[in-house]
Structure 1
Amino acid sequence: MKSLKIFALAALASVAIYSGVQAQDSYKFAVVPKAMNNPFFDLTRDGCVAEAAKLGNVECIYLGPVEHEPATQAQIIDDLITQGVDGLAISVSDIAAASTVIDKAAAAGIAVITFDSDAPDSKRTAYVGTNNKDFGKALGEELLKLKPEGGTYGLISGGAAAPNLAERVDGVREALAGSKWTEVSGSPTFSNDDIALAVQQASDLKTANPDIGAIVPVGGWPLFAPDGWKNFVEPLKADVDSKKLALVAADTLPVELQLLKDGYVHVLVGQRPYEMGEVAIQTLLKIKKGETVDNIIYTGLDRVTTENVDSLLK
């Protein structure tokens, strides 16, 4: 039976250690998210926990900044190197900051992969997660299906230096290139994964552009605060219901699926964060055992509308 320990790190981060059976050939693998207050990464943690328990000889350490702080993330990774973990799976907040400590870890003989957000020019062995350019394209494609007549749109992003989010923004723009859609000035906004700020930015986009035809968060942040998102949408509900204002958003956490079912967003394009946690642990174990792993391991996407939302909610 796995045990659970939770403690604080320098008041800047929290850590949870999930242990399988301790044995001579046991391994300590750390999963480092961009921010521990982002519920998306809770699912990655859960996948890591489940896989560690299944394997029995793996300890899953889940540790990252409380909030989106690239410098803090880099310091935490450096601390984990000093502690001598066997492997690291990192969602990269900032390529430059993360690459330095990734290369340091690799030089120390620690297995290193990235998940969710990559640093492809670093010495990481593999990337596990979403094809982020395709993710952005899917968001743009769903907007085109919803409103082929076009209009103006605004994007909400997270960290300005996050490579995965930049790829998503590029993907949306690529999908909409040549269409009748045009991007408003000041887009994308950058919420730094701050949920409340992302909701405010949706409101700001509408206020600055009263006739805006679509708002597209490339991450689920504003919808992670369902009451705040409803407060934003409710005065605009007639426009949303008529699709005068299209709402196409990233991720498919349960709270987002319920918002879709209740009519507060039209389409969701989701990643598979739980699978990222599972596959990250599997991949690190293969590396430590000397097995060959693919350089890129994609975990897939899900497109959700009113037609299939009930099946995902189950």
Structure 2
Amino acid sequence: MKKLIVIGLAAMASAMLAGTSLAQESYQFAVVPKAMNNPFFDLARDGCMARAAELGNVECIYIGPVEHEAATQAQIIEDLITQGVDGLAISVSDTAAATTVINRAVEAGIAVITFDSDAADSQRTAYVGTNNKEFGTALGELLLQVKPEGGTYGMISGGAAAPNLAERVDGVREALAGSEWTEVPGSPTFSNDDSALGLQQMGDLKTANPEIGAIVPVGGWPMFAPDGWRNFVDGFKADVDSKALALVVADTLPVQLELLKEGYAHGLVGQRPYEMGVVVMDTLLAIKNGETVEEIIYTGLDRVTAENVDEFLN
């Protein structure tokens, strides 16, 4: 694959000093998350806004459904097509619905990429974000590290139609295949990226399976409500402290790192949403400049336990 090349401000300045005229067009790029009430996407927003300000000729428009609603996301994308934005970066809620509007946007001459969650069979040019199968595998491997003796486990997912989350679930299962871990019936549950519902499902899994040995949310939703998470863990604190109930959770938002440091989880596997926001701006600009970009651009993972959490908090 050819490497992504983005002309930075310093290169522009050097070229102008050398007498080269670089006409600079202005662009509007829209970043469309699955849900605007999800703090994970706040970090992607911050990255795209910061990078747009650095680039100078790019505006980052951050807009999406308030809650995880695939139909609403599709309608917002339709509206952006009508408005004639120059580029779209979409975290796909539902593959089928998103593929239809992505293809329509491409046919309208709009540069389209996905981030965080892909629609690989659409006409999008590139995907920026996490290798979600690897992400799920890392969660499973971290659970094996935390509690190698095994037991029963349950997972909490977000949207049932979200392709990235399905890949994470598959990754967890593959990592634990052949181990002493077995998945409880009814797993995964689907929280629709809602923190309150995710917390309720934590309790439901424990109630339905009193001897459950681990709960693995494949997104950080239950921990995004820290008081509720503390209340849940406090109800089973002796089990959590002894690792009779292991808690291995996706994402590494600051609030989650603090909860891990306080002993309210055993391990986190984190994505890099801020970097995603930066890279989507660079990628869309490169496409508009007629440059060739990599089709798949992974932004990496972080594995965090009590032993190294301070490195991520500082």
Match in the other structure for 1:56: 56
Give the deviation of 1:100 after TM superposition: 0.3
Letter in 2 for 1:72: T
- Which 4+ residue blocks in structure 1 deviate beyond 2 angstroms? none
Deviations 1:160-219 (A, max 9, x none): 000000000000000000001000000000000111000010010000000000000000
Match in the other structure for 1:268: 268
SS at match of 1:64: coil
Give the deviation of 1:304 after TM superposition: 0.3
Give the deviation of 1:311 after TM superposition: 1.3
Alignment of 1:118-267 (within 5 A): 118-267=118-267
Match in the other structure for 1:115: 115
Match in the other structure for 1:307: 307
| More strand per residue | 1
The whole-number CA distance in structure 1 between the counterparts of 2:145 and 2:269 is 13
Give the deviation of 1:235 after TM superposition: 1.6
Alignment of 1:84-95 (within 5 A): 84-95=84-95
The whole-number CA distance in structure 1 between the counterparts of 2:25 and 2:214 is 53
Letter in 1 for 2:293: V
Letter in 2 for 1:253: L
Give the deviation of 1:24 after TM superposition: 6.5
SS at match of 1:65: coil
The whole-number CA distance in structure 2 between the counterparts of 1:253 and 1:148 is 26
SS at match of 1:303: strand
Deviations 1:221-258 (A, max 9, x none): 00000000000000211110110100000000000000
The whole-number CA distance in structure 1 between the counterparts of 2:257 and 2:145 is 19
Deviations 1:286-306 (A, max 9, x none): 000000000000000000001
Larger radius of gyration: 2
The whole-number CA distance in structure 1 between the counterparts of 2:276 and 2:148 is 33
Letter in 2 for 1:113: I
The whole-number CA distance in structure 1 between the counterparts of 2:62 and 2:219 is 21
Letter in 1 for 2:29: F
Letter in 2 for 1:51: R
Q: Which structure 1 segments of 5+ residues have no match? A: 1-22
Higher RCO, Cα 8 Å, sep 6+: 2
Deviations 1:119-152 (A, max 9, x none): 0000000000000000000000000011111100
SS at match of 1:113: strand
What's the % identity of the aligned pairs? 81
The whole-number CA distance in structure 1 between the counterparts of 2:183 and 2:24 is 57
Q: TM-score, normalised by structure 2?
A: 0.92
The whole-number CA distance in structure 1 between the counterparts of 2:39 and 2:309 is 20
Match in the other structure for 1:25: 25
Deviations 1:66-121 (A, max 9, x none): 00000000000000000000000000000000000000000011000000000000
Q: TM-score, normalised by structure 1?
A: 0.92
- CA RMSD, aligned part only? 0.7
